[in-house]
Chains A and B, each alone.
Chain A
Amino acid sequence: MREDKEFYVGYFDEMGPNTKRNIKGFIVLVVLIVVFCAMVFGLSQRPFANSTFEFGSDTEITGIYHEMPYPMLRVEVAENEYKNIVLLGFGKSSINPFLKKIRRKGTRLTGKILTIKGNLIYYNGKTLIQLTDEENVSIKNQLFVSELPIKDEMGRVSFMGEIVDPKCYFGVMKPGYGKIHRSCAVRCISGGIPPVLATKDNEGNDRYVLLTDSSGNPINEAILNYIGKPAKVTGHLERMEDWDFLRLNTGDIEVLDQESGIYVQ
């Protein structure tokens, strides 16, 4: 009887010819689905930003330390041309814990020349550095220097954009914005990393604005609800060399009902 040969018992070796054909057909179908699935999911991914995180490779930078209000190092990149590099701690935290030791020596850091060794993060003209050890900061020059950057008032403005955490956005994670990344951005900013508004100017160029509270102090916990969503942000704009700052009241942030990530892709 044909059907009888087809009865399959797992612990016997033989398999009826009909069952065998069926199973082979199923496996071929699964292989095709696997190929198709890898193509659909692999190729439909949105392009990733060409941002860089030099994880595992250290760079030493030297510049003038300042907090206005976020810790930065003002580095001369060409004659009379300065770049303010945002200083970050390890993981989802600010650099402050790593500066405790050097601060304990009783010196005021602002205006001092520091040397910092860490991992660079850069994209679109902005640079940040991650410090992984408090031993990697040293005061190069005990003299107080006065070449601190100056903030220029630019007036009250509104931007449509998305509040991101700059550490991930400028290189550590991809995508470092939008719905997928929101929880992580919340952790980073809650951990002391400065919030940045990513937006575009009228010509469609990317523009980045560091956010502070209305008196110009760091803002972290108060802004968590607005992170990673398209939003309209209003405040007082200030320009400081290669960075813009916005002083704002969180009440002036309006969450927009728009598709995730539209201002940053």
Chain B
Amino acid sequence: MGLDYQFVLWNRNKKRYDIIIVFGMLFYLFLFTGLTLIFKSQTTMETLLIRAFGTLALLMLHIILAIGPLCRLNTAFLPLLYNRRHLGVSMFLAALVHGGFSLFQFHALGNTNPIYSLFTSNMDYGSLTNFPFQVMGFFALLILFAMAATSHDFYLKNLSPKIWKGLHLMVYIAYVFILFHVFLGAFQQETSVLTVSFMGLGFLSLVTLHIITGIREAGKEKQEYEINVDQWLKVCHVSDIKTNRAKICTIDNGPVAIYKYDGKISAIHNTCKHQGGPLGEGKVIDGCITCPWHGYQYLPHNGQSPPPFTDKVQTYQLKLEKGIIYLNPRALQEGTYVEPIQIEK
């Protein structure tokens, strides 16, 4: 196999992505610090740091949460998804500076352990306006830590993609904690119509994006297929699929990608073994089905990743009659060879 198949861990696009993250973060910190020092010059260094990094983490979290639905709505955003985990880890680091500094500033050098103090210095757990808001920030930070610590593909493999995905979906819980952290904390004292509406706007944009995406995805899955006498599903005319591309059809077992390439058709399960990317939205490159999310590859005729990789997905049998593609909805074991169907001229 060619070098192209290798998963290069560090490549130009990743580097470019990381450079943009670092410059973006520095740019925000520079602006926030500059504006504060010019217009609110009586501040203290600690407050400046706490606020600069807290708001930076909040901003980054919004961007991270927007990328997912944007990519589902328009594949031209996919390059943003490719290295999103680095954005996530950077956001955690910003939040850690904020939380760590706050923990030191407000709880250290006292007569008890800072973590114990975080939970007990304000005991108004029953009150909304007096609620110990720092506790919410602490839980959010713990979730972000768990995600950052397991962000490497090593943990994805070891925890199994399902658990990993579940863990990483907790970012939404962290987001809710942070909303409460800010609305019951800083906003109770530093009340400003501008900041409150700005954050409200961020929340509404994220909710809207997720709802639109949800409606679109639900629409895609609600397809009914004609079933012929032998229980084969009628999918579509072979000319409805573009060369090197696929059509996704959803059956009881889940979505299936039917690929047309090299004058042949093959069907494999649609869900990528890496993070569940939609293989049917990928493309055949160098004879391999390539996942649109991070570029994992599978051979169309047996659903196996080319060596040295060992990932395998289920395959399906197809039939071609008068240009119409039929699918046998019984999935074959992962990695089972299925003779590709030749498309007659």
Chain A interface (Cβ within 8 Å of chain B)? 1, 3-4, 6-13, 15-16, 18-19, 21-23, 26-27, 30-31, 33-35, 37-50, 53, 90-93, 172-175, 178-184, 186-188, 190-192, 225, 229, 257, 259-261
- A183 close to B117 (CB less than 8 A): yes
Q: How far is the CA of A196 from the CA of B77 in the complex (A)?
A: 56
Q: How far is the CA of A212 from the CA of B82 in the complex (A)?
A: 62
Q: Which of B31, B42, B70, B110 contacts A93 (CB 8 A)?
A: B110
Beyond contacts A179-B189, A183-B107: 4 other A-B pairs, Cβ-Cβ < 8 A, are A30-B24, A34-B27, A91-B110, A229-B130
Q: Which of B59, B82, B295 contacts A34 (CB 8 A)?
A: B59
Find chain B residues with CB under 8 A from A30 CB: 24, 63
- B192 within 8 A of partner (CB): yes
Q: How many residues of B contact A (CB 8 A)?
A: 76
Find chain A residues with CB under 8 A from B188 CB: 179, 259-260
Measured between C-beta atoms, what is the minimum distance from A198 to chain B in Å?
A: 14
Chain A, Cβ-Cβ closest to B31? A38
- B43 close to A6 (CB less than 8 A): no
Chain B, Cβ-Cβ closest to A260? B189
Chain A, Cβ-Cβ closest to B41? A48
Number of A-B contacts (CB under 8 A): 191
- B179 within 8 A of partner (CB): no
Q: Which of A7, A179, A190 contacts B110 (CB 8 A)?
A: A190
Find chain A residues with CB under 8 A from B282 CB: 7
- B108 close to A91 (CB less than 8 A): yes
Query: In the complex, which residues 62-85 of chain B have their Cβ closer than 8 Å to any Cβ of chain A?
Result: 63, 70, 74-80, 82-83
- A40 close to B195 (CB less than 8 A): yes
Find chain A residues with CB under 8 A from B35 CB: 38-39, 42-43
Measured between C-beta atoms, what is the minimum distance from B66 to chain A in Å?
A: 10
Stretch at the interface among B8-16, B145-153, B259-267, B303-311: B8-16
- B215 within 8 A of partner (CB): no
Q: How far is the CA of A152 from the CA of B111 in the complex (A)?
A: 34
Q: How far is the CA of A23 from the CA of B76 in the complex (A)?
A: 7
Q: List 12 A-B contacts (CB under 8 A).
A: A1-B243, A7-B290, A10-B14, A12-B4, A21-B76, A23-B77, A42-B35, A43-B39, A48-B40, A48-B44, A172-B44, A190-B110
Q: How far is the CA of A26 from the CA of B188 in the complex (A)?
A: 33
- B194 within 8 A of partner (CB): yes
Chain B, Cβ-Cβ closest to A229? B130
Chain B interface (Cβ within 8 Å of chain A)? 4, 6-8, 11-14, 20, 24, 27-28, 31-32, 35-36, 39-40, 42-44, 46-47, 51, 55, 59, 63, 70, 74-80, 82-83, 105-112, 117-118, 121-123, 129-130, 132-134, 185-186, 188-192, 194-195, 198, 242-245, 282-283, 285, 290, 292, 294-295
- B198 close to A40 (CB less than 8 A): yes
- A18 close to B111 (CB less than 8 A): no
- B285 close to A182 (CB less than 8 A): no
- A178 close to B110 (CB less than 8 A): no
Find chain A residues with CB under 8 A from B6 CB: 11
Find chain A residues with CB under 8 A from B110 CB: 91-93, 187-188, 190-191
Measured between C-beta atoms, what is the minimum distance from B152 to chain A in Å?
A: 16
The 8 closest A-B pairs by CB, nearest first: A91-B109, A42-B35, A38-B31, A187-B110, A48-B42, A22-B76, A183-B121, A92-B110
- B31 close to A190 (CB less than 8 A): no
Find chain B residues with CB under 8 A from A225 CB: 123
Measured between C-beta atoms, what is the minimum distance from B174 to chain A in Å?
A: 19
- B39 close to A184 (CB less than 8 A): no
- A9 close to B195 (CB less than 8 A): no
Q: For A183, A184, A186, which residue has the most chain B Cβ atoms within 10 angstroms? A: A183
Measured between C-beta atoms, what is the minimum distance from B272 to chain A in Å?
A: 13
Q: How far is the CA of A34 from the CA of B40 in the complex (A)?
A: 19
Find chain A residues with CB under 8 A from B294 CB: 10
- B13 close to A10 (CB less than 8 A): yes
- B42 close to A50 (CB less than 8 A): yes
Chain B, Cβ-Cβ closest to A181? B106
Q: How far is the CA of A19 from the CA of B195 in the complex (A)?
A: 33
Find chain A residues with CB under 8 A from B189 CB: 46, 175, 178-180, 260-261
Chain A, Cβ-Cβ closest to B76? A22
Q: How far is the CA of A7 from the CA of B46 in the complex (A)?
A: 46
- A8 close to B47 (CB less than 8 A): no
Measured between C-beta atoms, what is the minimum distance from A182 to chain B in Å?
A: 5
Chain B, Cβ-Cβ closest to A220? B111
